[in-house]
Chains A and B, each alone.
Chain A
Amino acid sequence: MHAEAISLKGIVKHYCVGDETVMALRGVDLAVPVGAFVAIRGPSGSGKSTLLNICGLIDGFDDGHYQLAGVNVSCLSEKERTHIRRQQVGFVFQSYNLMPVMTVAENVEYPLLLSAIPVQERRQRVAEMLSLVGLSKQANRRPDRLSGGQRQRVAIARALIKSPTLVIADEPTANLDTTTAGQIIDLMKDLGARRGATFLIATHDDRMAAHCDQVCSIVDGMLQ
């Protein structure tokens, strides 16, 4: 296994807003070891979401080099990036982004379905994961019948079900109360450690940052 989950060197990203060019990232260097729990902090518009999107391969960059689990992913086609995301990247969104027509179990199962895992193995892994996040009894419920904390647990289970190299979590506790947010942080850290997944978390939450192995601050598109 490669020692670094992600390695970014000189990442530059700009956006065009009308006639103006906005520099979102100005040569970001970042190396995160495998299994680390890393927080990216910064004010709104500092570029932390852009950085996470690039790390999660859902956005491109204009200059620099990016290696994910030792593989250079700087110049991949959209199809190749999709394939790597499917295998190696999990996402936890602030608004959970669960599929409303799917049950809890089906939401968690979805990434395995995309990877064409056999049905028996899928069922076993989903049951196991739901048990780990404490939602076995809610397996057949729809997301709209769950609390915010439970929904975020489903999202975490979905992100980790395929044992990804990297989990991108964008403000995962922003919509939760303090107690639930604490439980979610503990759950992510616990499951991340068990699964060997690297967490990259964008957050404003000091409690979240306090639980992280590494805290990176980003201001005006540059890591401090």
Chain B
Amino acid sequence: MKRRYWHAWQNVLRNRRRSLVTIIIAAVGCAAVQLAGGFAQFSYDVLIEGTIQDSGHIIVATRDYFVRNEESPMQYGIPDASAMRERLSQHSHVRWVLPHINFSGLISNGDKSLIFAGTGVDPEIETEVRGPYLTWESGSFGKSVDGRPFVLLGSELARSLRAHVGSSLTLLSTTTDGTMNAVDVEVSGIASTGWREVDQRFIYVSLSTAQRLLATDRVSSFSVFLDDNAVTGEVLKEMSGGDQAHVYKPWWEQAFYYHSVRQLYNRIFGLLGSIIAALVFFSVSNTLAMAVVERTREIGTLRALGAEPGEVVLQFIREGLLIGLLGALLGTLLASFLSALLPYLGLQMPPAPGRTVGYALKVSISPLLYFIADFSVVLLCVLAAWFASHKATRKPIIDALGHV
């Protein structure tokens, strides 16, 4: 067996330049698939992280919260929030339980009033969990200096209101019983989420401010953050077991943007991968087809000596296999090297549509993806070898022997 591969290798070396070009094409194809797939994987990871940072691993709310529209604010909110938060926090995998109150209304600087989409949060934990993911323009999540209720403004909203840290604003909203209520707040910070549309509307206030404005003691939902994304399903099962009053949704059921991007990328990179696969296939089959034509008399001789067509095809398949293995090996080395190098080059991707900030160009090294790409390249080379040789080995022996 070893000798047969040695002969196959010698045959590969018979036309070194041609074989080298084919191996390089296989290697570049393999590396391209690994890099493109690695970039897609990195993007998915970033989107997953972003989604989890936004919603937590698990969102807990009342059953009606997800399916019905509220007729009055906090109609489907969670009553007795402290007990619920306490219960959720007891699970060993839970790191944080963040209560949220979602509300909307008008924000005014006295001269101008704009619509806002507000969230009531626990400022201390929110600063720890979400703070690092916001681009701070000024101030912080913290309390205002004189103890007045504070507000964190989206950068675009702050610009529209000509507000800065320390500015006084008024929030107007409808209470749970349908009357209008207002709260004066002081701007404690201005930040950007990276989404222009969100930055034009969002505000964060403390839970107590939101509850005072809405005249409620309820919260809209809890975002549960775990210590490991891998245990989400397991924790979800344990938490939801026996609790009929609430719905527990994992992050992936709320990750609409992630799913759309993934679908889009899968199509784009799938098409790219197919084109690369076709290039590798035709390149290798072209090389081996030329080798087959050049060695037609050899094929005739082997057949005359008693070799079955399948045995002759196997000889070419071994050559295709060696080309594929070398291509896959070189491609993997190239992709690994470039993936490791990229973070040091500091290359930036432009902002995605709708976003205001770009992100660093990085490529994940996924062993599974590398294996699939390597296996595909080797398989393509083997198929190309079969494709190039199977017809020639069935040519009449006297025609093959008479080939010039």
* Most central of B304, B305, B308, B397 by chain A CB within 10 Å: B305
B181: Cβ under 8 A from any A Cβ: no
A145: chain B residues at CB < 8 Å are: none
Give the size range of A's interface with the partner: 20 to 34
Whole-angstrom distance from the CB of A124 to the nearest CB of chain B? 17
CB pair B306 A53 closer than 8 Å: no
B window 348-388: CB within 8 A of A: none
A87: Cβ under 8 A from any B Cβ: yes
B398: chain A residues at CB < 8 Å are: 53, 58-59
CB pair A101 B306 closer than 8 Å: no
The distance in angstroms between the C-alpha atoms of A106 and B303, with both chains bound, is 17
**CB < 8 Å neighbour of B305 from A53, A86, A95, A106:** A86
B307: Cβ under 8 A from any A Cβ: yes
CB pair B301 A97 closer than 8 Å: yes
CB pair B304 A85 closer than 8 Å: yes
Query: Which stretch in B7-15, B59-67, B224-232 binds the other chain?
Result: B7-15
Interface mask (A81-97 → B, CB under 8 Å = 1, otherwise 0)? 01101110101010101
B window 49-70: CB within 8 A of A: none
The distance in angstroms between the C-alpha atoms of A27 and B5, with both chains bound, is 47
A115: chain B residues at CB < 8 Å are: 306
B window 1-56: CB within 8 A of A: 3, 7, 10-11, 14
The distance in angstroms between the C-alpha atoms of A158 and B396, with both chains bound, is 22
CB pair B306 A87 closer than 8 Å: yes
B297: chain A residues at CB < 8 Å are: 95, 97
CB pair A86 B401 closer than 8 Å: no
A89: chain B residues at CB < 8 Å are: 306
Interface mask (B141-184 → A, CB under 8 Å = 1, otherwise 0)? 00000000000000000000000000000000000000000000
A100: chain B residues at CB < 8 Å are: 14
Whole-angstrom distance from the CB of B375 to the nearest CB of chain A? 28
CB pair A111 B305 closer than 8 Å: yes
User: Given A58-B398, A99-B298, A101-B14, are A91 and B311 neighbors across the interface (CB < 8 Å)?
Assistant: no
A114: Cβ under 8 A from any B Cβ: yes
A102: Cβ under 8 A from any B Cβ: yes
* Most central of A56, A83, A97, A111 by chain B CB within 10 Å: A97
User: Given A53-B398, A97-B298, are A58 and B11 neighbors across the interface (CB < 8 Å)?
Assistant: no
The distance in angstroms between the C-alpha atoms of A53 and B402, with both chains bound, is 12
A window 101-135: CB within 8 A of B: 101-102, 106, 110-111, 114-115
Would you list 26 pairs from A and B whose C-beta atoms are within 8 A, ordered by A residue?
A58-B303, A58-B304, A58-B397, A58-B401, A59-B397, A79-B308, A82-B307, A82-B308, A85-B306, A86-B305, A86-B306, A86-B307, A89-B306, A93-B401, A95-B297, A97-B301, A99-B7, A99-B301, A100-B14, A101-B7, A101-B14, A102-B7, A114-B305, A114-B306, A114-B307, A158-B305
Seed contacts A58-B401, A59-B398, A99-B298; 12 additional CB < 8 Å A-B pairs: A59-B397, A85-B306, A86-B305, A87-B306, A91-B305, A93-B301, A93-B401, A97-B297, A99-B7, A99-B301, A106-B7, A110-B305
